[in-house]
Chains A and B, each alone.
Chain A
Amino acid sequence: MFKFKPVSWITLLISLAIIALLGCNAKPFDYQPAAGEMKEGPGVFTGKDGELTIYDSKKGGAFPKDSDATVAETSGEKTAQTTQAAGTAAAAAAGSQDNAQEFKDFQEFQQWQEEKAKFHEYQQWKKSPEGSADLKKFQEYQEWKKSGGSSAEYKEFQEWREFKAYQEWKKSQTK
């Protein structure tokens, strides 16, 4: 019933298909073979990555290398350094990448809370009589700076700042 002489007409079909597909201008996508292969995607214990990262020089992992901690130390505040180091150590001790990620999220949350509190403080200060007077002066200064950037008065002001710096330097030389 099914008698095929495969090579010739299948080669022709494949060639025609290639030409047609090139003409379609489709976007390539990353096809991962599924049949017979291991399931793609997240794992029950390994989270969204679907694999337990034993070592990753960029992300860390169950056993992050020492240089990762150094990078963290230079980028954070002192309090953050302590918590970061403690957190990384805790995550490493737990041996779980998820824990490390969770801790990172928690740190971001803490930072957000801190900034939110500071912003609230600024809003309250703005509303207070002392704050509104200071704010008015600050706005006047901003306006003056914006409008006087090229004026003679502003240039003289800059000259005075330089002269002041020169005097301070001279004082330090005579000591």
Chain B
Amino acid sequence: MMQKKFKLSFVVLALIAASLLAVSPANAVDFAISGQINRAALYADDGHTAKWFFVDNDNSSTRFRFTGSNDFEKDWKVGIVWEVEMQSNPSNNMNMDLNGDTTDVTFNERKMEFWVGNAWGKAWLGQGDMAGNGTSEVDLSGTTVAAYSSVGDVGGGFFFQDNGVYSTTTVGGSRSNFDGLSRKDRVRYDTPTFAGFSGSGSIGNSSIWDVALRYAGDFGWAKLAAAAAWSDYGTSSATNDNILSSSASLLFDFGLNLTASYAYRKQDNTDPYNIFGKVGYKFLEKHAVSVQYSRTENLSAKDDKGDTVGIGYVFSPWKSVEFYGTYYIYMLDRDAGSNPDDINVGMIGGRVKF
């Protein structure tokens, strides 16, 4: 069944490529480079040990990218995206055993893809977002660089401890926003937008596939963005079957914003899920603040509860520069045994787009 889908996808792509050869040469071409640096100082206290770290904020890592597009006649367009991240001390990989910096810095692929589009939609081929990626992370608060539904991006590598005895459970291992299938080598199709709605679907290696629906509408007094996806692990995982991910965010014109997310993973014996809520406020054009709460249940073990409370603040003195502060309290309520101490993490830093 999946093999047939793959074959069909490649036939469609071949037809698109063939039709491109039939149309006229390029009308407009552009090629650009952009990037950002996002660095922070992070303080962590697990109840037994407290340390400072200098990190790359994994909420939106340091990276650069090349983009290009080519307009053809009859509304055909072709484009490329090549995005690479480079993190020295990623904030989600820190732990109390670290002395000095983490391993050598390397380039990590994020996106290497091209797209072909016209009035009927857009087809993508290469390493890039699966259709469901980002469907647990719709957020209009303006504080995502400080805090959002993926709470493990800051402090995800810290181990819980109780009376100085460290467990094998980390912050990241006990909570997740189950945001679809992330980025993969795949073929993807996006429909055009109709009344604010758009759909997409993608297929990748090991028969993984997903479908997603998105909405973005402006009511005049408020903006609403929402997304939902169904993702299937195919044969890529022995324990995970599929994910339902969803989120929505409402931003009122006067700055108040509300964000929520729910995601569920069908998994052998556990079936973990995550709920997330956030209340934020944007004010004086350059400030945004938010408080959030999330709970992941059944991830580290059946009936374990990973609660997180967070506060985020972002100050944008100039459009290309942001300074931010984050505070997270990571809690773990174990079903078996005693509960470990909470882990407190504070982070202040800046993101500069160049």
Residues of A within 8 A of B (CB): 2, 4, 6-7, 10, 14, 17-18, 21-22, 24, 26-31, 33-39, 41-46, 49-59, 61
Contacts and interface: CB of A to CB of B under 8 A. Distances in A.
B67 interface: yes
A35 B217 contact: no
Contact of A17 (B65, B195, B226): B226
Contact of B215 (A10, A21, A52, A56): A21
26 contacts: A10-B262, A18-B213, A21-B196, A21-B197, A21-B224, A24-B219, A26-B217, A26-B218, A26-B219, A27-B196, A28-B218, A29-B216, A29-B218, A30-B216, A31-B214, A36-B59, A39-B322, A41-B320, A42-B320, A43-B320, A44-B321, A44-B354, A46-B34, A52-B34, A57-B26, A61-B30
B224 A26 contact: yes
Given A35-B139, A53-B31, 15 more contacts: A10-B244, A10-B262, A14-B246, A17-B215, A24-B219, A26-B219, A26-B220, A37-B60, A38-B83, A39-B320, A39-B353, A43-B353, A50-B353, A51-B33, A61-B30
B144 A35 contact: yes
A21 to B, nearest CB: 6
B148 interface: yes
Interface residues of B, number: 62
B32 A54 contact: yes
Contacts of B224: 21, 26
A138 B60 CA distance: 69
Chain A CB within 10 Å, residue with most, of B35, B139, B273, B352: B35
A175 B354 CA distance: 72
B91 interface: no
- Please report whether the interface of chain A is mostly helix, strand, loop or mixed according to DSSP: loop
B236 interface: no
Contacts of A52: 32-34
Interface string B140-161: 1010110011100100000000
Contacts of B319: 41-42
B175 interface: no
A50 B32 CA distance: 9
A2 B295 contact: yes
A46 B65 CA distance: 13
